[in-house]
């Protein structure tokens, strides 16, 4: 059995799983089962939110290990479902390694939404959240516009803001607050608070919170703590950005 | 009529907002509708139980159970449905008002709001953990009973 090829395959699938935003226990278990299915000796998998390590013992007793750093990523449920399905199929049928590697390479050819559709999602979500919290039709319209602005920042802002997610949150939150103050002062919107809250729901650390809960439930306390910290930092970033945006909108 | 305006309409808004979020998380097909239904269900429970911290706990429990069942039906990971359906309940308003009070120098109101926000987040997490663990435990038990 080719130990290196198996290690590469496991690493590829593990990395795709991590990038899709899967929980740590799912990544570790999927990769471990895959290695077991192919008869990897002394298989070890370790993952934390930013790193994946897979280790094996080759048939001549030589130990081999691969480590890969996971870049910042969003959540991609379509990719997660495809990785999960591929993993199950591979564990059940155990095709030759070259064929499996080919299938793993094809994971990225998945259905994705066009940027315009994602922007539509960013704009529509606040437009529904604002009435949910008690806003009227005019507030919903303002939330739609502010959501669009925040969506543009989130999608294309990485060119100026880099990969720093905290800075991105602060800037987007400031844009949301500033936009709603400006729209209210122009006479389009009615309530600054309701519009801003509706738009801030785009940035709220719901994903980090849910993930933290899952990690802790699965026993990965270390990953759970790191996600909890992420949630608290994001909330602080939202508060800071909104304060800056409100101040700027009311001063000038 | 009043019930429709006060209860069902907000649930529709919550569901629609969740469907809009599925674009961001790259969810396709039936998953979109399941996320929307989960969000609406969660908000319905939250409203009927009185919009308090225990209400958020019960809403998280119902969303988790719904998502777990749907994940079993569609044979998909539960993560996506749960992530999106819980979003309307995450206390974005709490973060915002806490910041307002903090900037205004109203320390007591700030602390109240901060603790309430933390309580909401903790209730969501605890409800999700308990419901999912209980569901999985019950499922495992059922399978064992059937096998023996």
User: Does residue A55 or residue B7 have the better pLDDT?
Assistant: A55
Q: Alpha-carbon distance B127 to B124, whole Å? A: 5
Contact A238 B87 (CB under 8 A): no
Closest CA to A99 of A225, A5, A223, A205: A5
Inform me whether the pLDDT recorded for B64 exceeds 70: yes
Helix intervals (H) in chain A: 3-19, 24-37, 77-93, 97-105, 115-132, 137-156, 158-161, 165-185, 192-200, 206-217, 221-251
If you ran DSSP here, which 8-state letter would residue A157 be given?
T
pLDDT of residue B98: 93
Residue of B nearest to A247 (CA): B103
The SS3 assignment for A41 reads: strand
Domain residue extents for chain B = 2-147
pLDDT of residue A200: 92
Would you say A146 and A135 are in contact if contact means Cβ atoms under 8 Å apart?
A: no
pLDDT of residue A61: 85
Reported ipTM exceeds the 0.95 cut = no
Contact A81 B17 (CB under 8 A): no
pLDDT of residue B6: 80
Would you say A141 and A127 are in contact if contact means Cβ atoms under 8 Å apart?
A: yes
Residue-wise DSSP of B109-133: HHHHHHHHHHHHHHHHHHHHHHHHH
A199 to chain B, any CB pair closer than 8 A? The answer is: no
Phi, psi of A47 (to 5 degrees): -140, 140
Which of B23, B79, B100 has its CB closest to that of A121?
B23
The CA-based angle A83-A53-A221, given to 5 degrees, is 85
- A2–chain B nearest CA distance, Å: 31
Q: Alpha-carbon distance A191 to A33, whole Å? A: 54
CB proximity under 8 Å: A 88-117 to B: 111-113, 117
The packing angle between helices B107-147 and B53-74, to 10°, is: 40
A148 forms beta bridges with none
- B104–chain A nearest CA distance, Å: 10
The mean pLDDT value of chain B amounts to 90
> What's the burial of A96, exposed, middle or buried (CB within 10 Å: 0-12/13-18/19+)?
exposed
Chain B CB contacts of A117 under 8 Å are 23
Contact A132 B17 (CB under 8 A): yes
Which of B23, B91, B128 has its CB closest to that of A213?
B128
Would you say A78 and A19 are in contact if contact means Cβ atoms under 8 Å apart?
A: no
Contact A22 B77 (CB under 8 A): yes
Inform me whether the pLDDT recorded for B126 exceeds 80: yes
Flag residues of chain A having pLDDT under 50: none
Would you say A18 and A88 are in contact if contact means Cβ atoms under 8 Å apart?
A: no
The tokens describing B32, both together, are 């979109």
Domain residue extents for chain A = 3-108, 115-251
In the sheet with A63-69, reading across from the earlier edge strand, the strands are A41-48, A51-57, A63-69
Element of type H or E holding B134: helix B107-147
CA A133 to chain centre: 26
């Amino acid at each position: 059995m080719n130990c290196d090829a198996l290690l590469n395959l496991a690493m590829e699938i593990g990395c795709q799983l991590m990038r899709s935003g899967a929980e740590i226990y799912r990544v570790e278990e999927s990769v471990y089962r895959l290695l077991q299915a192919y008869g990897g000796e002394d298989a070890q998998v370790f993952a934390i939110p930013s790193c994946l390590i897979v280790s094996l013992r080759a048939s001549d007793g030589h130990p081999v290990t691969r480590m890969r750093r996971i870049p910042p990523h969003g959540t991609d449920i379509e990719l997660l479902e495809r990785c999960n399905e591929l993993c199950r199929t591979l564990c059940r049928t155990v095709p030759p390694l070259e064929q499996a590697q080919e299938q793993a390479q094809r994971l990225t050819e998945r259905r994705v939404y066009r940027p315009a559709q994602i922007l539509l999602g960013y704009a529509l979500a606040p437009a529904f959240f604002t009435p949910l919290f008690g806003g009227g039709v005019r507030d919903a319209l303002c939330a739609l516009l502010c959501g669009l602005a925040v969506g543009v920042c989130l999608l294309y802002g990485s060119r100026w803001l880099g990969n720093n997610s905290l800075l991105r949150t602060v800037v987007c939150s400031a844009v949301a607050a500033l936009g709603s103050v400006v729209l209210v002062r122009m006479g389009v919107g009615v309530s600054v608070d309701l519009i801003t809250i509706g738009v801030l729901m785009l940035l709220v650390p719901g994903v980090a919170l849910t993930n933290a809960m899952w990690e802790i439930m699965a026993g990965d306390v270390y990953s759970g703590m790191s996600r909890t910290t992420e949630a608290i930092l994001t909330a602080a970033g939202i508060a800071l950005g909104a304060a800056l945006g409100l101040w700027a909108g009311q001063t000038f | 009529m009043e019930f429709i305006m006060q209860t069902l309409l907000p649930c529709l808004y919550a569901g629609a907002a969740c469907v809009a979020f599925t674009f961001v998380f790259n969810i396709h097909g039936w998953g979109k509708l399941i996320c929307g239904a989960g969000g609406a269900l969660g908000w319905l429970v939250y409203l009927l139980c009185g919009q308090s911290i225990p209400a958020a706990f019960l809403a998280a429990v119902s969303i988790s159970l719904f998502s777990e069942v749907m994940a079993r039906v569609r044979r998909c990971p539960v993560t996506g449905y749960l992530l999106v359906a819980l979003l309307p309940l995450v206390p974005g308003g709490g973060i915002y008002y806490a910041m307002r009070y903090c900037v205004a120098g109203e320390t007591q109101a700030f602390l109240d709001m901060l603790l309430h926000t933390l309580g909401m987040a903790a209730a969501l997490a605890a409800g999700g953990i308990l419901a999912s663990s209980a569901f999985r435990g019950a499922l495992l038990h059922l399978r064992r009973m059937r096998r023996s």
